[in-house]
Structure 1
């Protein structure tokens, strides 16, 4: 299952998994975007795809998502916990509204928790037991950008969720890892190619990498036997200001 599969990293990962023969449940808010992903997968995929429009911040919606995937496929071997939002841009910390804070936390953290919990329950009870959860962290799980408190806070929290899932899943053959992505070329990173605020106050154009480079890494993580796990992986544009940021 891939959340946030209607665009960007989620779409690239879904296509890579389908091409490798996985049957993939596609989750996301926009039905049309999911159908577009499914159409792209249909051209070269070895596995089938199922579109389930879902708001991951809604517990009932997440329950319906997992029920639909289980009804079609009977088990869940992989969750790529990817759905997320960057939230307000360029808003100073003291000006962040409660509504903007909640909107980011609800999707990036609560949504990730709800999907991970639902996957965990299925993986614990299915036969053969176990499965893998891969969380989409971010470079911001390590270091912030200016004016990014809601997003950065949720991504630091994602690291704690990943570690907790890794520990709590050991007894049930559930492996959990995290991929921290920096400057993949998606709609969310368009501003980096136009120039983005740096810690020293300058606005600088940053290099980006292809989303397919991320998808190949997720596929590698996904295809490991459950006895092996990539706990944390960082995949980033080579020249981006991460090492030395700030």
Structure 2
């Protein structure tokens, strides 16, 4: 009898918001680490650019979708499951900042759009991944939600963003509780000032709690990607429930 081991299929990761910023960096890092990856996001061209940057484009699948719409999320997940057959890891990353304005000047449209992507979209994606993780053989998997420093301490004049990210912490805790008897590990990564298009203004100056405007340091995106890959590679018996990664000198502890 042959002692050769049966080939092990590459694990499957789903990355939302994979067309730019943190999502793109994490998608590229997971592809380099040996994952098959489904890339979800609103812009087909941006997802194609991410895949083109990888040394392993054959292991990537682009799935353009409006993640604020439950039906669009369901359709995208149906396609990725038909293509890959399972889900081992979901990086729930897609988000929008919504700008800075006092609450009196924050429009209903801004509030609704931020909540729709940052919170509703995260819930829709987690729900679809959850259903598949329960049904697959072997069952189980891991979900990592992208929170924020603002999930703990808000920036001035960011009511919609701060509320949405505080809500992500509640989502993480609820799913971690529900998943621990089902072989589904759920955690959250809170990121401070990774260098992306969203943080491009930070070195030029950001409004602070004392009313001043000061430059803030940023860190290389690769450190965030490395942290996500480390968490993705953990055995399912281990859960990184919360982790914060940030530029060392950014104003967080003692903010205000």
**Counterpart residue number, 2:52:** 39
Q: Are 1:166 and 1:175, in contact at CA under 8 Å, matched by a contact in 2? A: yes
Aligned to 1:163: 173
* C-alpha distance 46-58 of structure 1, shift in aligned 2 (>3 A): closer
Three-state SS of the structure 1 residue aligned to 2:97 is: coil
**Contiguous gaps of at least 5 residues in structure 1:** none
Q: 1:182 maps to which residue?
A: 192
Residues 1:20 and 2:20 are matched in the alignment: no
Seen in structure 2, the aligned counterparts of structure 1 residues 240 and 6 have a Cα distance that, compared at 3 Å, is: same
Contact 2:25–2:222 at 8 Å: present in 1 too? yes
Q: Using the TM superposition, give the Cα deviation of residue 94 of structure 1 relative to its aligned residue in structure 2, in angstroms.
A: 1.0
C-alpha displacement at 1:181, in angstroms?
0.1
Q: How many residues align?
A: 243
> Paired residue for 1:81, among 79, 92, 95?
92
Q: TM-score, normalised by structure 1?
A: 0.97
Give 1:47 shift: 6.8
For residue 255 of structure 2, what is the aligned residue in structure 1?
Answer: 245
C-alpha RMSD of the superposition? 0.9
**C-alpha separation in 2, matches of 1:91 and 1:207:** 22
Q: 1:199 aligns with which of 187, 190, 209?
A: 209
Distance in 2 (alpha carbons) for counterparts of 1:38 and 1:64: 21
Summarize deviations over 1:159-213 as a string: whole Å, max 9, x none: 0000111011122100000000000000000110111100111110100001110
The separation in 2 between residues aligned to 1:17 and 1:130, in whole angstroms, is 19
TM superposition outliers: structure 1 runs of 4+ over 2 Å: none
Return the offset for 1:65.
1.1
1:209 match: 219
Please state how far the C-alpha of 1:27 moved relative to its aligned partner: 0.4
Residue 62 of structure 2 corresponds to which residue in structure 1? 51
Which of 11, 15, 18 is equivalent to 1:5? 18
Q: Which is worse superposed, 90-99 or 173-182?
A: 90-99
Q: Is the 8 A contact 1:19 1:46 kept in 2?
A: no
How far apart are the structure 2 equivalents of 1:200 and 1:30? 38
Q: 1:20–1:46: 8 Å Cα contact kept in structure 2?
A: no
Cross-structure match for 1:128 = 138
For the residue of structure 1 that corresponds to 2:75, the secondary structure is: helix
Larger radius of gyration: 2
Matched residue, 2:82: 71
CA contact (8 A) 2:51 2:57 kept: no
Shift of 1:152: 0.2
- Structure 2: unaligned runs, 5 residues or longer: 1-13
Residue 201 of structure 2: SS of its match in structure 1?
helix
> Is 1:235 matched up with 2:245?
yes
What is the alpha-carbon distance in structure 2 between the residues aligned to residue 236 and residue 98 of structure 1?
31
Q: Deviations over 1:80-127 (max 9, x none)?
A: 00000001x231111111111000000000000000011011101111
